[in-house]
């Protein structure tokens, strides 16, 4: 993060407040596309050049679903747009893709169900404002998609910024170690719920999340063949490596197993001992997410003490962050390491299986994590206005905690202040940017309807 001279808390706060002169808080409400704005569809298609060409039509199909789905897959578009907006110069370890669907529940190593950011493919050191603007705009776009009325769309958007601002002020008053220990557990979320209905929804989500683990994944993703579990074939979304033939270009089972061995050698000693109790059984390519479709993502089924002791690991391709086109590069040569180190900075509690590797045969970098471990995500598309407001409070607090860990919470809080000036500005920005996203989405649909771009059913 940015180097800081030894300053008192008062000096840091005063410095943050002084930044309002170069970047007035009201200036963040402005959005007008630059005259030389890159073609948004062109940006997406440039990304597709490095992806598996036979999965690109699936990516387009997923992004066609709605303006919100398009927004989820368009992190590169917004990164280019954000690079033209005002910033204070204060930096943090940015998530890089902090939309509201990239928050969720998962298990901590201590077997607590916690809520946090959970997608770090684009993480890089950058302006804190970029994450918050992407998050605010995502609430506006999702609320519109859910046909929430205009006033409630603005309310939910303002609420996430208010939550961020208030939390950052709280973190500014904390001791450094207390910030690093700060954690939002599922039971805390229930306590935060401001209605009986809200509490029930949270509790239900927690129960559902705990059903998602490697044993459940085995039932869902594998089948028994000649007394041995094998990953199912459900093309094009789940395809065992043995069926892919030449579609992966120099990637075969031997290459993936060697990558696993390299990953296992590089993890912490305790994790290395744990992995030694497992052996790889089968490998498959699995399509995940919206923006990630077409990248090389594999799942490995491993077996522990017996067939009823499975472990699923995900090996996901890591490409250069979309933020890197507009910011200094990552200090890490391996993009998988960039993702892992960024995740550890942002999260209070991270997956014990995190690691990275490189495949020399293709030049691709990858990061590793557990596929399912009490994973839970909010059902964004069914959220009413009240649900969005409750969820905004969680996401705003969580993003502020993430930024307070790696940046200067005192200076950021000094800049934000105690009034709602910044909240109102970002609500305005989010509304204007939601309009921009709609225009880009319509242009994207036109490219597909005209036949210039091909989209495919996921089952074709």
Closest by CA to 402, choosing from 132, 175, 108, 190, is 132
- Check whether residue 184 and residue 313 sit in a common domain: no
Asked whether residue 206 falls in the same domain as residue 219, the answer is: no
CB 160 within 8 A of CB 405: no
The answer on 197 and 250 residing in a single domain is no
Higher pLDDT, 418 or 208: 418
Would you state the torsion angle of the CA atoms of residues 300, 301, 305, 307, taken in this order, to the nearest 10 degrees? -170
Residues 144 and 228 in one domain: no
* CA atoms of 97 and 122, how far apart (whole Å): 6
Cα 287 to chain center, whole Å?
A: 16
Verify that 187 and 54 share a domain, yes or no.
yes
Q: Which domain holds residue 138?
A: 9-210+376-449
pLDDT band at 372 (very low <50, low <70, confident <90, very high): confident
Residues 286 and 359 in one domain: yes
Q: Are 376 and 160 in contact (CB under 8 A)?
A: no
Q: Is 67 within the bounds of a domain?
A: yes
Which of 370, 395, 419 represents a domain boundary (last residue)?
370
Q: Are 241 and 252 in contact (CB under 8 A)?
A: yes
Q: Is residue 2 part of a domain?
A: no
3-state helix, strand, coil in the chain (%, to 5): 50, 15, 35
Same domain, 263 and 354: yes
Please give the Cα distance from 115 to 399 (Å, whole number): 11
CA end-to-end span of the chain: 46
Same domain, 205 and 219: no
- Of the residues 352, 370, 388, the one at which a domain ends: 370
**8-61 tens-digit pLDDT:** 999 999 999 999 999 999 999 999 998 999 999 999 999 999 999 999 999 999
pLDDT (average), residues 311-316: 96
In a domain, 454, yes or no: no
Query: 202 and 246 share a domain?
Result: no
DSSP character string of 58-114: HHHHHHHT-HHHHHHH-HHHHHHHHTTS---S-EEEE-S---GGGEEEEE-TTS-EE
Q: Is it the case that residue 132 has pLDDT exceeding 80?
A: yes
Q: How many domains does the chain have?
A: 2
Rounded to whole angstroms, the Cα distance separating 385 from 399 reads 21
Looking at the fold, whether 307 and 221 belong to one and the same domain comes out as: yes
Whether residue 434 is found in the same domain as residue 297? no
Q: What pLDDT digit, counting tens, does each position of 408-439 carry?
A: 999 999 999 999 999 999 999 999 999 999 99
330 in the same domain as 194 = no
């Amino acid at each position: 993060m940015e180097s800081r001279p030894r300053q008192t808390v008062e000096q840091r706060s005063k410095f943050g407040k002084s930044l309002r002169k170069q970047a007035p808080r009201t200036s963040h409400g402005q959005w007008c596309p630059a005259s030389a704005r890159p073609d948004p569809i062109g940006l997406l298609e440039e990304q597709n050049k490095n992806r598996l060409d036979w999965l690109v039509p699936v990516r387009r199909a997923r992004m066609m679903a709605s303006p919100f789905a398009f927004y989820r897959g368009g992190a590169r578009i917004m990164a280019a747009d954000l690079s033209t907006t005002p910033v204070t110069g204060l930096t943090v370890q940015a998530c890089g893709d902090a939309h509201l669907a990239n928050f969720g529940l998962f298990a901590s190593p201590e077997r607590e169900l916690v809520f946090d950011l959970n997608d770090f493919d684009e993480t890089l050191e950058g302006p804190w404002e970029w994450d918050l603007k992407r998050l605010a705009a995502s609430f506006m776009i999702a609320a519109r998609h859910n046909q929430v009325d205009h006033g409630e769309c603005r309310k939910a958007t303002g609420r996430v910024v208010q939550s961020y601002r208030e939390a950052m002020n709280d973190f500014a008053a904390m001791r450094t170690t207390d910030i690093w220990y700060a954690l939002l557990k599922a039971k805390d979320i229930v306590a935060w719920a401001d209605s009986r209905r809200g509490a029930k929804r949270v509790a239900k989500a927690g129960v559902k999340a705990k059903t998602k683990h490697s044993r459940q994944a085995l039932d869902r993703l594998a089948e028994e063949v000649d007394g041995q579990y094998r990953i199912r074939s459900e093309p094009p979304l789940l395809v065992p490596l043995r069926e892919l033939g030449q579609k992966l270009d120099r990637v075969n089972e031997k290459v993936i197993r060697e990558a696993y061995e390299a990953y296992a050698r590089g993890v912490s000693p305790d994790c290395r001992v744990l992995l030694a109790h497992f052996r790889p059984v089968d490998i498959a390519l699995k399509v995940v997410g919206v923006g990630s479709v077409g990248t090389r993502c594999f799942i490995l089924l491993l077996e522990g003490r017996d067939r009823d002791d499975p472990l699923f690991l995900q090996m996901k391709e890591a490409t250069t962050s979309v933020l890197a086109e507009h910011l200094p590069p990552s200090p890490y040569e391996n993009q998988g390491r960039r993702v892992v180190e960024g995740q550890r900075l942002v999260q209070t509690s991270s997956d014990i299986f995190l690691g990275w590797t490189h495949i020399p045969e293709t030049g691709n970098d990858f990061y590793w994590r557990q596929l399912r471990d009490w994973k839970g995500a909010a059902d964004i598309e069914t959220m009413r206005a009240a649900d969005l407001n409750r969820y905004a409070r969680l996401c705003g607090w969580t993003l502020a905690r993430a930024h307070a860990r790696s940046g200067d919470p005192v200076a950021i809080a000094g800049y934000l202040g105690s009034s709602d000036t910044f909240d109102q500005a970002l609500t305005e920005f989010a509304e204007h940017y939601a309009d921009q996203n709609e225009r880009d989405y319509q242009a994207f649909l036109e490219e597909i309807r005209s036949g210039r771009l091909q989209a495919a059913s996921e089952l074709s």
